[in-house]
Structure 1
């Protein structure tokens, strides 16, 4: 029995070894990001910032991603992805620590913008590697693993941040934890990620033995080298081919999802404190969200690969919209904890399903570019939600959840209708 389990574990590791550095780095970085999540809004408000300005400060992160993520996604399709990812994490390391020294509203705004730009260097390149390293019928599962890595970080991060701050570390503790996690992630990728973390190669490059019969100054050798470079370069489809139903539908649904994310990131901690929650319980609610996603995402990814992503994307989105309405009705801090578990199970299917739909419509050679646009759709939604949420919260603490619950439901239904009947991407030749 033990031998069989060991063999299965080795087979699993062998299958996913090409993407393992991305999964490990994502887990480490999200531990740091998660440590900051429950504390950041409280820290900003404690500096004398009102909720409306808080929304503007937190919107700076997605605003930077909106500008830079398509650019760095385009760049990642044309150059080595490894330096982009490491540079982004190193900048994030510095930007995570500086708010402890510069905590005026303008300084916090600029530092959040810098952090968003740095994340734009990392994310499209990482997702592009996942797409290029897997076959089309593995995309749902690999993005399920990717989601599990993220949510695994969110299991530990908020607990580390909230309890570290509550037990004597103060607000400085989660900022230091976030910076340290980004530094560790950069160091790990520098060692573990192969240097040529670029698009897929369909032919092996020339080796010494492949041209040993030619002299070093032979015109035939030069011609063979040129032909090999042209052959090894991944063909790129025209940009207009990204305007298909699968891509547009996935972008629309990601827009809907990040409307909800924007609401949560700006006012969740403030709303829970309004309901009477302690800092420790606020941190635990993030763990309650992350745990089901970690447990169910790999299974969900396999199911998405088998049955298709559309039904899971739309169904998961409807659960997210309804959950927002229920949060608005809460009168104490424990009902949201129960609802979070249901919403998290829906998200375990939602993430892999949207990525599978997007991958189905991604044109050849445009993986990072499409992933960059996918991220940009989410950041537009985050900006809109963050800017509106702070102002709505100032009017009534329940209003952001009620308003965006209806909007999220509408956009998921629209995205599902667009993606319905999308044609699969033509096979590469």
Structure 2
């Protein structure tokens, strides 16, 4: 019979996290706050070169586009160079890109420099996921994903406020501050992350310690991995695509509200996600990955569909918070699923890159499809499309076996 004390030790909270994971969580906060500092300034800076609103939007999209295109290269680099070196190189590329943006002399230079930053971004994103997977204890993978995602979320909330203040001192300054923050991250990681990635205690001494690579074809043969690609696409479509592109337009056109209402709705969505992250990672480690992803898809999918039919600001904010809650429910479980598929004892650069690409692809296709549906039909139909995408992923997950160890 298991004693209460032994049961307590087996709980996810009792698993001690390596120092290196805490370093990555701190680095994530610095990266996110820097990105948030630049985000509100970038469109205005682009328009300062006397270009149209559409051209300014292209500068914003260029970052996501190059992330998507160069994700396979990042996976290859992780498998050849290792996670740590790929992470540091990616951070330095984004830092150099940000500094170059500050000194751009025309629109085309700004577009080029911002696009180059996307290459570095996908490098450190894939590498960071690989590092977390290899260092996170299997019983705490969900909790580690929550910590990492929560750190990014806090940075993304704090960054725009700081960026707005810095912009008053000149639109170039936020880019230089972001570059300095990234240089600090590179130094932090190079100093506190060892060249040889530590392996969890339960893996030491096993023959599997010899680094091997999980082929993408083998991962695609697993129903759980195929399912997590669909839920990553659905979350990218909803949380990063529709939310950022369609929600502000809906607040202005359908509700007749000002831009401040759109900004509040984005913050409310982030708060809902943050609330879910306080417990969703632990539940993913105890209940399993599949229940959390199914519940997240259901909550987020239904809420996004209802959002297009809200008639006043109160319901608009409330449903936005519920949609954010759904996104936070499935986020840690998705990353933990990929970690379960790869395992601590091998590298899976292409597997990680493909998962990242699924989210980026949803974030790119979602706004385009939604814009078409708004023009041809209505906002309600456009938001319901997010529900349909979530429902398809839900069907992929139903027959999949939970990968939780």
Provide TM-score, normalisation by structure 1: 0.77
Pair 53,384 (structure 1): closer, same or farther in 2 beyond 3 Å:
farther
Does the alignment pair 1:380 with 2:324? no
Does the alignment pair 1:149 with 2:128? no
Structure 1 unaligned regions, length at least 5: 1-10, 205-227
Q: Give the stretch that moved more between structures: 91-100 or 102-111.
A: 102-111
Does the alignment pair 1:183 with 2:190? no
Structure 1 counterpart of 2:124:
122
1:131 Cα offset (Å): 0.9
> What's the secondary structure of 1:77's corresponding residue?
helix
1:270 Cα offset (Å): 6.4
- Residue deviations 1:30-65, cap 9 Å, x none? 011122334434544565544544454333222212
| Contact 2:101-2:113 at 8 Å conserved across structures | yes
- Residue deviations 1:95-137, cap 9 Å, x none? 2233344375533432332111011110111111111112333
Does the alignment pair 1:233 with 2:210? yes
> What's the secondary structure of 2:23's corresponding residue?
helix
User: Distance in 2 between the 1:203 and 1:423 partners?
Assistant: 28
Structure 1 counterpart of 2:292:
312
- Residue deviations 1:207-258, cap 9 Å, x none? xxxxxxxxxxxxxxxxxxxxx9x87422334432111211111111111111
Structure 1 counterpart of 2:339:
359
| Contact 1:31-1:156 at 8 Å conserved across structures | yes
1:169 Cα offset (Å): 3.1
| Contact 1:293-1:344 at 8 Å conserved across structures | yes
Pick one of 380, 388, 394 that aligns with 1:416. 394
Alignment map for 1:5-404 (pairs within 5 Å)? 14-45=16-47, 47-102=49-104, 104-165=106-167, 168-169=168-169, 171-197=171-197, 202-203=203-204, 232-243=209-220, 244-260=222-238, 261-266=240-245, 276-277=257-258, 285-325=265-305, 327-329=307-309, 336-362=316-342, 365-388=346-369, 402-404=380-382
1:139 Cα offset (Å): 1.5
- Residue deviations 1:264-312, cap 9 Å, x none? 4446566667755467x76655543434434441421111121122233
Q: Give the stretch that moved more between structures: 415-424 or 319-328.
A: 319-328
Identify the structure with bigger relative contact order (alpha carbons < 8 Å, sequence gap 6+). 1
User: Distance in 1 between the 2:51 and 2:369 partners?
Assistant: 16
Structure 2 unaligned regions, length at least 5: 1-12
User: Distance in 1 between the 2:351 and 2:248 partners?
Assistant: 33
1:19 Cα offset (Å): 0.9
User: Distance in 2 between the 1:317 and 1:44 partners?
Assistant: 36
User: Distance in 1 between the 2:381 and 2:50 partners?
Assistant: 27
| Contact 2:37-2:163 at 8 Å conserved across structures | yes
Pair 136,300 (structure 1): closer, same or farther in 2 beyond 3 Å:
same
Provide TM-score, normalisation by structure 2: 0.81
Pair 297,143 (structure 1): closer, same or farther in 2 beyond 3 Å:
same
Q: How many residues align?
A: 387
State the Cα RMSD in Å. Answer: 3.5
Pair 133,297 (structure 1): closer, same or farther in 2 beyond 3 Å:
same
1:338 Cα offset (Å): 3.9
